[in-house]
Every structure is written in structure tokens, then in C-alpha cells.
Amino acid sequence: MPQSRDTDESTSAADRALLVDLLYGELGEPEVAHAEERLGGDEELQGEFAAFGRIREMMSALPDEEPPTAISAKLLHAAAQQAASTASGPVASVSAGRREESDEPSGLWAWLTGLFRPLVMYPGLAAATSLVLVAGVAGAFYVSGRVEPAQSPMVSSEPAFLESGESKAAAPSAPSNDPEASAAQPSGAALQQQSGDGFADEAPEPVSGADSDAPDDTTGGMSDRRAESRPAESRRPESGREDSDDSRRRARIDGLEGDVGSLEGAYKSGFGGSAGGKASTPASTPPARSAGPRSRKRPSKKSGRSSRSGNKPASKSIDIGLEEARLAPVPDRSVSDQEAPNAEPEAAEEDEAGAEADEQAPAEKGKKSPRRTRGASQTDKKDSASPATARQSRLRSLHDEAKDAARANNCSSVRSIGGEIEKLDRVYYRERFLRDKALSRCFGKKR
Amino acid sequence: MLREEADEALMIRYQQGEVRAFEILLERHRRPVFNFILRFVGSRELAEDLLQDTFLRVIRGAANYKQKAKFTTWLYTIARNLCVDQSRRKKHRRHASLDQPMSKSDEGGTLLDVIPGNEMLSDRKAVSHQLHQTIHRAINSLPDEQREVFLMREFLNMPFKQIAEIVEMPENTVKSRMRYALEKLRLELDEYKDMAKALP
């Protein structure tokens, strides 16, 4: 039985194959006759054959769809490219829409065209390349240009600082210091004119610009301050003009502080202080960083007061203002200006006393000490050849003073001096003064 | 005349640089190839892409073409392989097309039916559309291996031997697949035989 089943199945399969061949006309004539004979003897096969025939009829009724013509255009273009590349050389990969390569040049030009061909073929790549090139060139210019501009501001700012610092230093120090300096310095003469005191003997530190303007009331704060401080300092030099290094140093510091304070006040008042008025005010700007409690480093508010601490943060503005004052006429001096020099002598006194008022507000100091020995600090600065040189020498001298104060464990003085140095040259202050190991112990203390 | 030359000769000519030969080949075969692909994948958009790919491959392979095989065998081998690859990538072969039924359960519903027309369809057109929808649905219901054989034999009039070369199967296997395809279609379309008879 199984054998007959298999036979039936194979016969059926053969019949089916025959049916399909017959249906699609793939039988030879002898095979066709056999197939027709087979069909005649089997109704089922006949029915199936007929059904398949109907299927074919239905399929023939299906319409064919037309492909879009755009595809043909693309394909023909691609074929043309391929044919051209084949004719010219090795077969190149081609796709619809690629450019023709039949006219490819040779030599250097060919190399160049081949180099830039991807950019032409891919606009996006070309755009990105352009951006990179532009950014690279701009960056190169930027970097190269950065060097020069970076230097100039520093250079330009330093003289201003120096000048202002010097002026500040000059004012307090002049009285107590070299008369020769004053003679050499036009500022000394200016102060003289303004104050009428013995400031001529205490020529301010080399800040020629400010000094020169002082007599004409054009320096604004600077000369005025100097004038302010001078009277106060004149007293100081008289009293503190000692031959000892310490007193001289202190006087110088005091003078600096007072000068700063006076300058600050002058700046605040619009450099309107009059020289004369200044002269009458003995109290110079209380160096908030008076020798004793010189807390210049402490960020202080910018006030017309002389307080050193107030000068510190406002040092820059004061310097700028001083610079302007130096150039502009000073109409009148305000009370604040007058108070400023007063503060410095007071601070100087405190320094001498070694009080811890340094830690206090500058205003307080300003009120305390009547006068400061600016002269000493002023006279220290003898170099009037150039403001920069004078400022540098001033910085060095202040630095030395600070070291001396540190050795004497007078950290308040150290800090006050530091404030002055910072006003003169912030970079120096940060890079050298603060990093001086001899002074490090003072900066570690709480102000 | 190029138009009278055989496909193989035209291909050789194109291989030698005659683009016109390829143009004739394209004119001859782009429509049947397109319809083969369209009925295989069931999507017109997809069929257009595959049609372009097919002939691009012919272009790229023209340099390596050897006349030992029929051009149509080579051509439809490329087309069939692309269709099979596409079918494998997609789980659902059926894509929405205008004359495809929207759902299997909806025997009469197609996109054509829901798109408002400017004129009333005649009964004849309606019957025709319905029949075409049914036929397409029936063809799409076939397995891939049966459908490709059926399409090649029925619409391309390709001998079973050539089909066997294309699908890389024995000829008897191809005939069996064809038989099974016909039987399945018979079951799907038997009820529409009268409708088909009514159409001219």
C-alpha cells in the first residue's frame, strides 16, 4: 500500500509538472500528445488544467504600469559616463548624475582639477573647507595680533600707575625727603606754589607731569594732594626729619599714604581742590594704610577720604583720575581733599607709634593722624628722569621698607606699604611683593 | 539597425562605448523589469528605486559582461536579487498603493475607492478595478519563492529553465513552485472567474 501511495504521489507530481509544462507550452510535440492523452483520461487533471488556464487569462488582464521617464534619463546619463570612462581608461564607478570624465585634462592641471574635484562635486564639503580656512586664517591673525595688543595696555597703564603712584609717593615723601628732589622736580615747585610751605624742599617723587601742573592748578588732585600733603608733611618733616633710616622710611611711607589719600580725595572732588586750600590743610590724606595699620591690601571703598584702604581698590580709578587731573585744571579743592592729607599725617603718626589702627577703617586713621611724613617718601624718589624709572625706584624703596618693617615684626606697616606698592604697580605687588618670603609671614596674618 | 539586434549584441556594443545600444536595451526592458519589480515588492516607489538600481548595476557591470549567458537572465537575476533583499529587509511586503486593498479583510476597499473622483466610474471600470485589486492581492499572498517564479513565467514569459538559472534552483523545483502558485491563485481567484469572463 505505501508503495502504491508513493506511486500515486509521484504520478501526481509528474502529472502536475506535465500540466504546468503543457499550460505554458514547454513540451515538445511528442510530450504534448502524451500530456493531452493523460488529461483525457483524468477529469481532475482536466479541471485543474482549465482552472490554471483561467488564472492565466486573469493575469493577462492586468495592465502594465509605466515607469517614470526621469529614471530613464538618469540611467542614460550614467551609461554615457560609463561609456566615456571606459573609452578613456579604466572602468570607473559610475552612478546616475555623475559628471562626465571624457574631457579630463592631463598633467598639472589634471592634478589640480582632481584635487579640487571633490569640493566641486560636494558643495557641502566645499563650504566646510571654506569655513575651516577662514577660521584658521582668522585665528592665526588673532593669535599673532594678540601678542602686541596685550603688551601695550600694560605698558600704557604702568606709566599711569607709576605716575600716580609717584605722585602719591612724592607728595608725602617730598617734604621729609630730599630737597634736591623737589628742586629737580617741577612738582616740588608746584607744591611750593600751592602750599607755600616748605614743600619745595621736599620735592615730590618724580611725577613730572603732575608736578608740573601743580602750580597752575592743572594737576587736579595730584598737585593738590601734594599741596595738601605738603603742609601736613611739612610739619612732619620738620618733626620727623631725622637722620635715622627708620624715621625716614616711615616718613616716606607716611608721605606716600598721605599722598594717596589726598589724591584720592582730589579725584573724588573732581580735582577741584585748590593748592592754596590744600596748603592750609595740614592733615593729609589719612593713609588708611598708615604706617602702622597699613592695610592697603584690604579692599577698601573708593572714597574721597584718603583712607588708604579706600585707596586700594580705588587706586586704579584714582590713578586714572590723577592722570586726568594732571592734565586738567583743578578748579577747587573740596573738603574731602583737605581731609585727605590730614589723614596721611595721622597715619604716619600711627605708624610711628606702631599702633594697630592699621587694621581699622581708613577713615578713622585719617582722622587720627594729622600729618604724615610724605617728604621722606617723596625725597626718596630722586629719579626724575622718567616716570617709569622713578616709579621703579619707588617700588624698590617701598619694598625695602617693607622688609625692614617685617624684620621689625611690624606687619601693619608691611601691609600698608604693600598697599602703596599695589597702587603703584599691581603687577609688581602681586609678582614680587606678595611673593617675597621675607614678608610672607605678615600676609599670612589676618588683617 | 541597432533596434533589430539581440540584447547580447547590444550589450557588447555598449561595452565598446556605444551608448545608443544601451538606450535601446533600456527601452526594451525597463517596463517589464519595472512591472516585475512592482508586482514583487508591491510598492511603486520602491519599484522605481529598485529599477534604477538594477540598471545601474547593469551599467557598472557592462565592462565585465560576457556573452555566455542571456542578457535577460543576467538582468532579471539582478532585479530578482534586489527584490529578495528588499523583501528580507522589510517584514511587510505590502505597501499602500492606490490599487491595493487597504486591509485584507476589506475585499473591495482600496485607496482608489476612497479617493473622490471627478466622474462616476462605470460598472465596467469598477469591476475592472475590483478584479485588479483582487489579482494583486492574490499575487501578494504568494510566498516569495512562488511569487518570483510565477511572475517570471507568467508576465515575463521566461522558460522554466531560465527561471531555474535565475533563482538558482533545479528546474523541477521551479515547476513545482509554479504549480503551487497556480493552485493558490486558483483558490483565491476562482470566485472571480465569472467576473473576469465578463470583461473583454
* One pLDDT digit (tens) per residue for chain A, 447 residues: 555 666 666 667 777 778 888 899 888 888 888 888 888 888 888 888 888 998 998 898 888 999 999 999 999 999 999 888 877 765 444 454 444 444 445 677 777 777 777 766 777 888 888 899 999 999 998 888 765 555 555 544 444 444 444 444 444 444 444 444 444 444 444 444 444 444 444 444 444 444 444 444 444 444 444 444 444 444 444 555 556 777 777 777 777 766 666 666 665 565 544 444 444 444 444 444 444 444 444 544 444 444 444 444 545 555 555 555 555 555 554 444 444 444 444 444 544 444 444 444 444 444 444 444 444 444 555 555 578 888 889 999 999 999 999 999 999 999 999 999 999 999 999 899 998 999 988 886 544
Given this model, what pLDDT does residue A72 score?
93
The reply to whether residue A71 touches residue B30, judged by beta carbons under 8 angstroms, is yes
pLDDT tens digits for A408-442? 999 999 999 999 999 999 999 989 999 899 998 88
The reply to whether residue B199 touches residue A61, judged by beta carbons under 8 angstroms, is yes
Given this model, what pLDDT does residue B64 score?
87
Task: Residue A24: list chain B partners with CB under 8 A.
Answer: 153, 160
Inform me whether the pLDDT recorded for B11 exceeds 50. Answer: yes
- Rounded to whole angstroms, what are the CA distances from A382 to A208, A255, A261, A386, A394? 11, 15, 22, 10, 9
Given this model, what pLDDT does residue A252 score?
74
The reply to whether residue B15 touches residue A86, judged by beta carbons under 8 angstroms, is yes
Q: How far apart are CA A323 and CA A347, in angstroms?
A: 25
Residue contacts between A and B (CB atoms, under 8 Å): 123
- Rounded to whole angstroms, what are the CA distances from A211 to A187, A191, A363, A377? 3, 7, 26, 15
ipTM surpassing 0.85: no
- Residue indicated by cell numbers 529614471: A71
Give the count of beta carbons closer than 10 Å to the beta carbon of residue A399: 20
Set of cell numbers at residue A78: 550614467
Task: Residue A67: list chain B partners with CB under 8 A.
Answer: 30-31, 34, 47-48, 51
More confident residue, B158 or A227: B158
Set of cell numbers at residue A271: 580735582
Are the C-beta atoms of A202 and A169 separated by less than 8 Å?
A: no
**Helix then strand then coil, % of chain A, to nearest 5:** 75, 0, 25
Are the C-beta atoms of A375 and A242 separated by less than 8 Å?
A: no
Given this model, what pLDDT does residue B36 score?
96
Task: Residue A16: list chain B partners with CB under 8 A.
Answer: 175-176, 179
Given this model, what pLDDT does residue A74 score?
93
pLDDT tens digits for B77-121? 999 999 999 988 875 544 444 455 444 444 444 434 444 444 445
